[in-house]
Amino acid sequence: MGHNQFMQDKHGRTHNYLRISITEHCNLRCTYCMPAEGIALTPKSHLMTADEIVSIAQTFVQLGVNKIRLTGGEPLVRKDAKDIINRLGKLGVELTLTTNGILVHDFIDTFKEAGITSLNVSIDSLQKEKFNLITRRNYFDQFWNNLALLDENGFQLKLNVVVMKGFNDNEIVDFINLTKDRNLMIRFIEFMPFDGNKWNKDKLVSYADIMNQVHDHYGITATERLVDKPNDTAKNHKIKGYQGSFSVISSVTNPFCSTCNRIRLTADGKLKNCLFSDSETSLLDTLRSGESIESLIFQNIQSKHAMRGGMDDDAKFQNPVLFSKNRSMIKIGG
């Protein structure tokens, strides 16, 4: 079986992008990601070691994966994160990660050595009180110092903003204004339902809502729709004359499932073929028993639904019984 065929599902989508969560731990406690009561952490013996992460990643690269993103929790809190990043950097793929930025000052050299050129950084408010409220922690100044440091070191930065009605939907213009003189990409993400995050439709700020605000403020003619890259989850725009750009990731109102090329590996070695799938395939048990994981990968990709883990209409998507079967976001890795 040819490599590309192997990674192709029944809907003709080829999977060349692997997201690996390397930890369930985080140094923040963001409300939309983690239930207030915390989560039951997986026992350490059930989590992938650095060797296992690299071994599984190598298998995926042989099967045609050419982009790997590290996620968490917060990937940089893992004690051997530098080792993992260095080793994955040698696989010849595009390597990147999603981080909350709190620890990046310790990793600038590691990133450069591993060939990482762009980072996704999560930030949900530009206001100190709100930032501390949503993260349930007090790292606002540290965040901004580190963002400046990444900027100085030439990293291409995408800022991930989860938009929630009544919380930060009045900061959309403020975020876009950051792109005026800096080559930043702001990515507004529709608030999505996961176990324990108190999601309901009333908190959703849709792609249309966001664009209405943008058009009201900047005018329709000043707002330019950019051409999206293939497999892009974001609808990309910019304000004419601004250096940077902004986009909306509309998983709730305009899902982009038909071009999905990504699969997810959780920190406990389970493969999820969709962020919203409640079924998982354990690669770790098979790896530890010394057997090949290739057929498991193939089966997992073959079982992928056409759309959002089978929640193919709004009623299913908003049904708490269905979305509570899934993990909370912190245990998936975004």
Which tokens belong to 284?
Answer: 């770790």
Distance between CA 308 and CA 146 in Å, rounded?
34
194 pLDDT tier (thresholds 50, 70, 90): low
**What's the pLDDT score for residue 312?**
74
- Res 1 pLDDT > 50: no
Q: Report phi then psi at 269, rounded to 5.
A: 75, 25
C-alpha to C-alpha distances, 37 to 10, 233, 267, 276, 319, nearest whole angstrom: 39, 31, 21, 22, 22
Q: What is the rounded average pLDDT of the residues 175-180?
A: 98
Q: Under DSSP, is residue 322 helix (H, G, I), strand (E, B) or coil?
A: helix
Q: 271: which strand partners? A: 265, 281
37 pLDDT tier (thresholds 50, 70, 90): confident
Q: 159: which strand partners? A: 121, 186
> Is 69 exposed, middle or buried, given 0-12, 13-18 or 19+ CB atoms closer than 10 A?
buried
The contacts of residue 208 (CB under 8 Å, 6+ apart) are 253
- Res 2 pLDDT > 80: no
Q: pLDDT digits over 47-82, tens only?
A: 999 999 999 999 999 999 999 999 999 999 999 999
Question: Picking from 17-21, 54-58, 189-193, which range would have the lowest pLDDT averaged per residue?
Answer: 189-193
Give pairs for 177-182: CB < 8 Å, separation 24+: 178/126, 178/244, 179/238, 179/239, 179/242, 179/243, 179/244, 179/245, 179/246, 180/239, 180/242, 180/243, 180/244, 181/243, 182/151, 182/243, 182/244
**What's the pLDDT score for residue 4?**
57
Q: How many residues does the chain have?
A: 334
Is the separation of the CB atoms in 174 and 124 below 8 Å?
A: no
Handedness of CA 52, 53, 54, 58 (dihedral sign): positive
Which tokens belong to 216?
Answer: 């009201």
C-alpha to C-alpha distances, 53 to 17, 41, 163, 280, 316, nearest whole angstrom: 15, 19, 32, 17, 34
Q: What's this model's pTM, rounded to 2 decimal places?
A: 0.93
Q: 160: which strand partners? A: 122, 187
Q: What is the rounded average pLDDT of the residues 110-129?
A: 97
Is the separation of the CB atoms in 45 and 97 below 8 Å?
A: no
- Res 319 pLDDT > 80: no
**Look-up: residue for tokens 């915390």?**
38
Is the separation of the CB atoms in 66 and 16 below 8 Å?
A: yes
**Look-up: residue for tokens 């269905």?**
322
C-alpha to C-alpha distances, 289 to 67, 186, 268, 282, 292, nearest whole angstrom: 27, 44, 15, 12, 9
Distance between CA 225 and CA 248 in Å, rounded?
11
Q: What is the rounded average pLDDT of the residues 297-316?
A: 84
Question: Picking from 84-88, 134-138, 146-150, which range would have the lowest pLDDT averaged per residue?
Answer: 134-138
